Structure 1
Amino acid sequence: MTQKTPPPWYRQGWPWFLIAFPAIAVIAGVITFVIAAKTFDGMVVDDYYKEGRAIVHTIERVERARELGLIAALQVRSESIRIEMGAALPADVPQRIVLTIVHPTRGGQDQSHVLSGTAGVFETGLKTLATGRWLFVIEDEAQHWRMSGSAYLPTESAITIAPDA
């Protein structure tokens, strides 16, 4: 009887199958390293102390709005917005405000408006806002106080912003 000699290892399927898993892991690791090295991580800041002070300043501005008893009712329409502001003392209602409309993920769609009004009523035109969650920030020009609120547009078109909330 003649014995059949087995083929060399590199001509069999099992060794290649077993080598494939570690090889895929090494390739995936190299790709991950390249992506991590070439991608900018915007979340990391060099001057964390300065950023922390800015956050404290923002909190102080929200507290100032709370002390003044400010409240704002926003009516968002497709291409305009109407803001009615009130305060504990009518004299604390500003003549001019800064409205910033921010999308959480699409920075290119953010809008900022300086509005003048009478008796706490402000109105301006807007670029059309896409469907989704939007953040509305209202502050005075001197940046002494600040209020913010969010809404899912177009479902929530009437928004009430109060620092107590």
Structure 2
Amino acid sequence: MNPALSPRVPEAPWYRHPLVWLVIALPASAIIGGLVTLAIAITHADSTVDDNWYRDGKAINRSLEAEQRAALWGLGAAFEADGRVRLHSAVALPWPDHLVLSLRHPAFADRDQERRLRHLGEGRYQADGALPAAGDWDVTLAPPDGAWRLYHRLRLGPDGARLGAPETPR
């Protein structure tokens, strides 16, 4: 048979070949995946390193000294679910007029709270409102002048929680 006389079969256009789409789909999926990763990285960016890292490091040392002072004095606190805090100490201390209570959630920064506690008398303090919902919290309790500081991770429950040295019997 003569090839010149045989009927010519029309060749399919390029977009009808599945292998062409496979060659296009692999790089296209890599580009789309890269753009999605870029969008996630931009919307959930980590905070940058603080420019005042040296000053912050010195502040950490001061806060450790305040924690050591609280341990030396045998300071501790009991938290009640209604927002009351009772301080106790192994030595006689003048109680400050108010305290600063910082509650930091270990996973969600938007749940962090800072409250001012007013003195009710005999080492008892009252916060405005109840303590936050039950769960794990990093708690810092200190007077405004920073003479001492109690820091602890505690689990708040329906009955409140304890922080610091055990209470001495009176």
Q: Scaled by the length of structure 1, what TM-score is found?
A: 0.75
Closer, same or farther in 2 for the Cα pair 1:39/1:8, shift >3 Å?
same
Q: Which residue does the alignment assign to 2:144?
A: 141
User: Does structure 2 retain, via aligned residues, the 8 Å contact 1:96–1:114?
Assistant: yes
**1:6 Cα offset (Å):** 4.8
* 1:49 alignment counterpart: 54
Give yes or no for the alignment of 1:61 onto 2:66. yes
Query: Which amino acid in 2 is paired with 1:141?
Result: P
Aligned 1:114-125 pairs, distance under 5 A: 114-125=117-128
Deviation by residue 1:43-79 (Cα, 9 ceiling, x = unmatched): 5322222222222222222112112111111111xxx
Q: CA deviation at 1:81?
A: 1.4
Pick which of 95-104 and 81-90 moved more.
95-104
* Structure 1 segment 13-52 matched on structure 2, within 5 A: 13-37=18-42, 40-52=45-57
Task: For residue 136 of structure 1, report the CA deviation from its aligned partner.
Answer: 2.6
- Contact 1:96–1:117 (Cα < 8 Å) also in 2: no
Q: 1:44 to 1:163 in 2, by over 3 A?
A: farther
Using the TM superposition, give the Cα deviation of residue 146 of structure 1 relative to its aligned residue in structure 2, in angstroms: 1.0
Aligned to 1:91: 93
- For 1:159 and 1:96, locate their aligned partners in 2 and report how far apart those are by CA, in whole Å: 20
Q: How much does 1:37 deviate?
A: 4.9
Gaps of 5+ in 2: 1-5
Task: Return the alpha-carbon distance in structure 2 between the equivalents of residues 92 and 107 of structure 1.
Answer: 35
Larger Rg: 1 or 2? 2
For 2:104 and 2:134, the matched residues in 1 are separated by 13
| Matched positions, count | 160
1: CA distance between counterparts of 2:117 and 2:137? 18
Query: Which whole-Å CA distance do the structure 2 matches of 1:128 and 1:17 have between them?
Result: 59
Question: Contact (CA 8 Å) 2:77, 2:85: kept in 1 or not?
Answer: yes
Q: 1:50 to 1:91 in 2, by over 3 A?
A: closer
Q: Distance in 2 between matches of 1:17 and 1:29?
A: 19
TM-score by length of 2: 0.73
Change (3 A) 1:63 1:158: same
